[in-house]
Amino acid sequence: MTPILNTPAWKHAERHAHGLRDVHLRDLFAHDPTRFARLSVRWNPGAGESWLLDLSKQRITPETLPILAGLWESADVPGWIAKMRAGEPINHTEGRAVLHTALRHAGGPVKVGGHDVMPDVQAVLAKMRDFCRAVHSGQWRGATGETITDVVNIGIGGSDLGPRMATQALAAHHLGHLRVHYVANVDSADLATILHGLSPQRTLFIIASKTFTTQETMQNARSARDWLTTTLGEAAVARHFVAVSTALDKVAAFGIDTDNAFAFWDWVGGRFSLWSAIGLPLALAIGFECFEALLAGAREMDNHFFTAPPLENLPALLALIELWNADFISLQTRAVLPYSQSLGLLPRYLQQLEMESLGKQIDRDGKLVGCPTLPIIWGEPGTNGQHAFYQLLHQGGRALSCEFIACKEADFPLPGHHEKLLANCFAQSAALMKGKTLEEASQELTAVPSAPTFLAPYKIFPGNQPSTTLLLPRLDPYTLGALIALYEHKVFTLGVLWHLDAFDQWGVEYGKQIANSLLPMIEGTSPVADVDSSTAGLIAACKS
């Protein structure tokens, strides 16, 4: 296909961006009192209140979005959506279909290689439902007959970040009698601090690894197994461990009854797998009915993405704005700033979802993309971040974009809190947009008797820092499901626009290969050889 950089739509966007190069956001607002109305979009999901996506503080004009929509057409995003939904192997480097949307599908057949996967999906969901009800009711008990009070999920990457983030996000919906914990890091401090204070008789472990060979996960699993069997004996493993895996032989060798293994499939990428049995710890935390509401919200966002035109399509608009900021106005980072403590792990989750998917420079034809792809993502919940890094956002001299996420209603409604939270959120996006001139700073000082006028230069804020604000009605399972699906479809769209395979992750493999070769050298079972002098020196320092 013609590289998108060579299309008329791209050239048109370049000319448009050049014309906006020296325009300040405060001037755009001053010249157009209807700017907010013209550059904000509302979405009304079928089972919830409307969402608001405000793009008016982005460095665009009302003419920008139709120009960018030309890129959607040039890249044939609708055609790629059809390929994905048809089960074609659009993960071309691994020869796999990409059908995480099938995990929350509620219609007819979804086929991969001629096989309808929906009966398999429904069977796993039914097994998850039955297991959750057995644990919650006390029917599932530990080896000594005690009920389960604590669940420890052991996984890493996509087997950890999604359910961990969602479990924290939906804290207001937790069932009170069951605590869910997460262990990912191979650093023993991660597992040890979780196990401290837990009762082996009342603890259930979920080992989440598709192949049951992931190094970090299996080391943590073996250590957890030792912790349990030291007190309860080997026979207790079957009542205190379940698996999310397809490697049933390895599951059985570990001591887990294969009837307690929950399957998922190679057409589900790890970072898109929350909706599968990978979401089992979340379902245990919130109850299966709430988990079904999460699936319903995601399904509603799927329908929106598949059918809405690009200028009314929330995932499309987020993708087009990201591409605009990265490739046309050269912004290299994006701060994700949820004004919700419950969404505190969302920036970390999006780092994996977006940066692992789109942190690439080789396109589907094996050639360089030819332009920057995804910016670096980072962030922290407000208002905490205001007392950490916002100084740099306002006066650090680095151009970047921000993404504010807020809810109209609090999930933990304490009097006086939520109004202050929203005031800070809206104030920060306004300040980043508007800035403060030297004249305004001077006038501000002269209005205060005895104020030192020499401070005026220190109170200048350049402004013109673009931001998006996404205002949600509330944070509940349905809304969170739609929010996660929103970002999944944004990733898909950017992959198409940049002509990337967004569903492989070869960059992750190289470090693993080197780690596997270094391990015997660090353990002392093989000599230090064929490594650079720095690595050799570090190994020697650890062994001395």
Confirm if 39 and 101 have CB atoms less than 8 A apart. Answer: no
Over residues 157-167, mean pLDDT: 97
pLDDT at 267: 95
Q: Quick one: pLDDT band at residue 509, thresholds 50, 70, 90?
A: confident
pLDDT of 231 higher than 80: yes
- Boundaries of every domain in the chain: 4-91+294-497, 117-286, 507-543
**234 counts as catalytic:** no
Q: What percent of the chain has pLDDT over 70?
A: 100
Assign 325 to helix, strand or coil: helix
Q: Which residues neighbour 65 within 8 Å (Cβ) at sequence distance 6 or greater?
A: 39, 55, 311, 317, 320
Q: Quick one: pLDDT band at residue 3, thresholds 50, 70, 90?
A: confident
Q: Which residues neighbour 127 within 8 Å (Cβ) at sequence distance 6 or greater?
A: 262, 277
Q: What percent of the chain has pLDDT over 90?
A: 95
Strands 179-183 and 150-154: parallel
- Nearest residue to 359 (alpha-carbon basis) of 495, 513, 483, 512: 495
Instruction: Specify the fold of 4-91+294-497.
Output: Rossmann fold (3.40.50)
Confirm if 101 and 268 have CB atoms less than 8 A apart. Answer: no
Confirm if 200 and 227 have CB atoms less than 8 A apart. Answer: yes
pLDDT of 49 higher than 90: no
pLDDT of 47 higher than 80: no
* Summary mean pLDDT of the chain: 96
pLDDT at 401: 98
Which conformational region is residue 287 in: left (phi greater than 0), alpha (psi within -120 to 50 degrees), or beta?
left
Over residues 318-333, mean pLDDT: 97
Q: Could you tell me which residues are beta bridge partners of residue 180?
A: 151
Confirm if 271 and 158 have CB atoms less than 8 A apart. Answer: yes
pLDDT of 43 higher than 90: yes
Q: Quick one: pLDDT band at residue 107, thresholds 50, 70, 90?
A: confident
Over residues 479-497, mean pLDDT: 98
| Phi, then psi, of 115 in degrees rounded to 5 | -100, 130
Assign 125 to helix, strand or coil: helix
Q: Quick one: pLDDT band at residue 402, thresholds 50, 70, 90?
A: very high
What is the chain's percent helix, strand, coil content, to nearest 5?
Answer: 55, 10, 35
pLDDT of 217 higher than 90: yes
**356 counts as catalytic:** yes
Q: Give the active site residue among 11, 31, 115, 387.
A: 387
* Tokens of residue 283, six digits: 């379902």
**DSSP-assigned letters across all residues of 234-301:** GGGHHHHEEEE-S-HHHHHHHT--GGGEE---TTS-GGG-TTTGGGHHHHHHH-HHHHHHHHHHHHHH
Q: Give the active site residue among 216, 322, 356, 380.
A: 356
Q: Exposed e or buried b for every residue in 383-403, given b needs 16+ CB within 10 A?
A: bebbeebbeebbeeeebbbbb
pLDDT at 342: 98
- Nearest residue to 389 (alpha-carbon basis) of 403, 378, 375: 378
**Cα–Cα distance, 182 to 205 (Å, whole number):** 10
- Nearest residue to 217 (alpha-carbon basis) of 158, 151, 132, 150: 158
Assign 141 to helix, strand or coil: strand
pLDDT at 451: 85
The model's pLDDT over 242-270, given as tens digits with 9 standing for 90+, comes to: 999 989 999 999 999 999 999 989 999 99
The model's pLDDT over 269-299, given as tens digits with 9 standing for 90+, comes to: 999 999 999 999 999 999 999 999 999 999 9
pLDDT at 504: 95
pLDDT of 97 higher than 90: yes
- Nearest residue to 291 (alpha-carbon basis) of 302, 299, 283: 283
Question: Does the domain made of 117-286 have the CATH classification 3.10.180.10?
Answer: no
Other beta carbons less than 10 A from residue 260's beta carbon:
16
**Cα–Cα distance, 78 to 76 (Å, whole number):** 5
Note whether 4-91+294-497 and 117-286 share their fold. Answer: yes
The model's pLDDT over 55-83, given as tens digits with 9 standing for 90+, comes to: 999 999 999 999 999 999 999 999 999 99
